[in-house]
Structure 1
């Protein structure tokens, strides 16, 4: 029974993907890194669909929401895309005699599947962080207010160093990398700045690059640029034949996340291109700039706590060489002291027990 239920949900998820990710007529649209559109996958999104369906549509106890079928939810999503207000969306459901709570869950589910943001409170969702409430007007207007563009900087430009990537943030600054399905939590430092949340659904973002999007301006492209910044394709991609330390680390991170969080990480996370010099300028980020600045400050202020972190920390070359020369001198001095102590002990032993 469980297997049949999962298969049905997978089929329903593909229906939603068919609505959202319709291929271009030519079939040759380029993705953000130059790949063809047919390289897109939807395994991570289907996994997201199943989880959202369980916590909102089935409500944890097989009680369906107001729109109880994927077909009804996709129609609701289409109405949202067409610019209907929240009031216009709720009215037909209420006229059909559906309870207000069930109407709310149907609308929240449709919005979550459409824009991958945490709208509405889910009764059975574990560890809720921050929920969004859309109470009036169109969804597009709400999202545009939520993601306000930061004014252009007039001060001196700041460039993020090449060493500033997810691997360095984790292995040098000691900040845990965690993945999120909520784009509103992207690049957010939580738990006293010890965990960094990263929105990993690059395939979902690729869809919104080409279609009429509910997101403002250049938000989608900029989000993909932040993924390229944190996971440069030249270092993290599986397309490389050699298994670099960063590639192995990302693979282990994917496995760990799947085992502990039971979620699928989008494989296109490390296929967003490799940023060039100008792509690392803080000024070029208008939506995620504040969070990048906070993250860089936390990264710069972090001091290594373990020998492994000291070894990987090459941010200050002089300091790195000074530290390891001091360690080498300490090891040599300790070794010579031990050798000298052993020789002294042997001499004492020989003095009291001379050989016959």
Structure 2
């Protein structure tokens, strides 16, 4: 790791001279100093701190990170930084020494991870002698897991107190972050996201195949996740679907010159999200809007480009094909179990129409039968009253 005495020089090289010329220098210096001083127990709340943190993590130029005042008000990266704060808290539960580490330390570790040739062990050796780390192997491991997990949106290692559905990935000491050839099942990224799929079924993915219908018809509850490895994973006897939502961060990966995730994986993930959460005229659909009221979800997940019929073909999916096929089978096999699910289940439109026409006819028959009965009772009552009146007059 870069010595503390040289950290300011490191900050200048990482942030780049163009930024100082583009952004007001006072804000630049303040954000730089804060990242170097704030410990991981202090969450990044202000817009400038978040701005500089993302610029450094993804090696972006200022114009590539559009974070206007309006976007800040809309909390465009709120879900990412909320997850960041949670990961720091969980890491501190695992190793109390984490609290003395700064956000800039984490940026430096992420910079080391961007060298795809280095193994986990080699990355640790580069910064373990930093005075803050103090030759602590356990702290070094915890920080590597934290940095890699935050940057790549993965759950690496188990954290005490973590009650999420995330399934952690184990990164071997001798493993590199990734290999040059993505078809090799070696390295953390390669083994986690394989291009090899087992399913050869050419299932159809119609417009009705959406997260809203999975919920409303199939009774499959969506569990939102920030763990990319759990995307489209069915759990709890196929009653819960893990759905990745950090689209804003995927878009930053696409812009990053130091991206390690396969670009095809990033693009396919965004398309799979659009498949399940199709926007309506460029706006989030009602189901997604309701989900955002109940959960902290990245707003960009609801406004991905809508897929056409060609883009919805299963052949266009490689990384997520097996999970999509299994999800479609589970959806097709799901039978409505209540009136609400029956109402939404229009997968077989002829049967749906016939059923509800029969229901309508039944209720109309009952209704008119009741009306006729009431009319008969009223008529009988009127006849009795008329007879009584005639007798009284006689």
User: Smaller-chain TM-score range?
Assistant: 0.7 to 0.9
Counterparts of 2:122 and 2:44 in 1: how far apart (Å)? 33
Report the count of equivalent residues.
327
Q: Which runs of 5+ in 1 are unaligned?
A: 31-38, 239-246, 258-263
Please give the TM-score of this superposition, normalised by the length of structure 1: 0.81
Q: Which runs of 5+ in 2 are unaligned?
A: 1-40, 67-73, 179-186, 390-394
The 5 A counterparts of 1:1-356 are 5-6=42-43, 13-23=50-60, 27=63, 41-56=76-91, 58-59=92-93, 63-65=96-98, 68-83=101-116, 84-95=118-129, 97-127=134-164, 129-136=166-173, 137-140=175-178, 141-150=187-196, 157-211=202-256, 212-216=258-262, 218-234=264-280, 237-238=283-284, 247-257=285-295, 264-346=296-378, 354-356=387-389
Kept in 1: contact 2:57–2:110 (CA 8 A)? no
CA RMSD of superposed structures (Å): 3.0
Q: 1:106 to 1:10 in 2, by over 3 A?
A: farther
Counterparts of 1:88 and 1:60 in 2: how far apart (Å)? 22
Kept in 2: contact 1:14–1:46 (CA 8 A)? no
Q: 1:274 to 1:308 in 2, by over 3 A?
A: same
C-alpha deviations, 1:13-39, integer Å up to 9, x for none? 5443121244458x4799xxxxxxxx9
Q: Which has the higher contact order (CA 8 A, sep 6+)?
A: 1
Please give the secondary structure, in 2, of the residue aligned with 1:198: strand
TM-superposed deviation, 1:166 = 1.6
Please give the TM-score of this superposition, normalised by the length of structure 2: 0.74
C-alpha deviations, 1:277-328, integer Å up to 9, x for none? 1111111100100110111111111222233322222211110111011101
Counterparts of 1:90 and 1:221 in 2: how far apart (Å)? 31
C-alpha deviations, 1:57-89, integer Å up to 9, x for none? x3389x232971111111111101112211112
Kept in 2: contact 1:66–1:98 (CA 8 A)? no
